Structure 1
Amino acid sequence: MKKQLVIVVTLLLILLLIRRVFGTTITNITRLLPRHATKTFPSRNKSQIEQIVVHHTAGAENQTPKQVATYHVGPNHVCDSGCPGILYHYYITRSGKIYQVNELETIAWHLAGQNTRSVGVVLAGNYDNYPATRVQLKALNKTIKAIERKVGRSLELTTHRGECPGCTQCPGDYLQAQIASV
């Protein structure tokens, strides 16, 4: 019995060490999120991706990917009759949990005129009101590195506001300033 306990404790310590070394995992929930009954996003090759665009949800701190996807699939500020699905590729919570919410080959509609060439990463919260958390920024950095590994090259990092000056406050004043530290 003692030998089994030692093995279990050792395995748990190894798992904690691995998590500490490699950080937060990215959980792919693409197939679990609400989708429009008839609409679909177009596709692209990963070779077409040139940039990563950072957004904020401009909503509650505890807003979930499912809540955002439900809003996007219904009539909303982007699509009068609903969009095909959530409009981003990655979603980062205030606690630093990272979700992949669309495949990289999906052309999600997060930035008019730039969707084919960009990947949308959204941070949960309203960064006009408060800064992103340290763990959230660390998760953003990890997400950027993961995307670049998947496409096989470095990508330009920008924000919604950076690509569309004057048309939006996204990702909020605080996060806009914090992006420089990522």
Structure 2
Amino acid sequence: MPYAAEGRISREPIEGGLEVTEEQYAQGLAGMLKGQVVSIQGGFSVAPVPAPAPEPDPTPDQQLARRLITNNIEYERATLAVTAGYPQLEKDTWPTQDKESKAWLADPDNALTPWIDRAALTRGIDRVEYLRRTLAKAQQFEMVSSYLTGTRQKYEDQIKAGADPVLDYTIPGNLYAEMQAQALLIMTTNAAELQELL
């Protein structure tokens, strides 16, 4: 004897199910193959899957929270893109590189830079060039991170004031030009003058 329960049919007894006729079993099987659902509420029936109830419109507080979350997600995406080409182990060395390059800038003749010394030797480039490159990248990162952070905060202010701004975290061309000019300055200016500039 066949049986049916909510969303199921079987040739074996189903706990909480009902006995059904062979014809009902066949209807249930055919309906399930078409994506329909078997129900025993109010008697055996086979019907299309009910459409989900429409979600209520979000409240103003929910809209505000969603916009703030979306803004933060877009900011995270933009900041991750800045460092996406670097493996995590190398990123973990950035504080050391920054510390050593700034020590060299403060005292070019006496600064101890063991991490950069080894990396430069292994890479096959001059130590001072490596230090300058490190300074240039750190300056560029500060420029782009301050731009992105300011952009996030600007959008947050607008959202909290009731606006729904179009979020755009694209780095503008003039900032790229400024970053390149800063790198050129660091690579070509003597250490004493760099102390005054940075």
TM-score (norm 2): 0.22
> Which structure carries more strand by proportion?
1
TM-score if structure 1 supplies the norm length? 0.23
Larger radius of gyration: 2
More helix, by proportion: 2
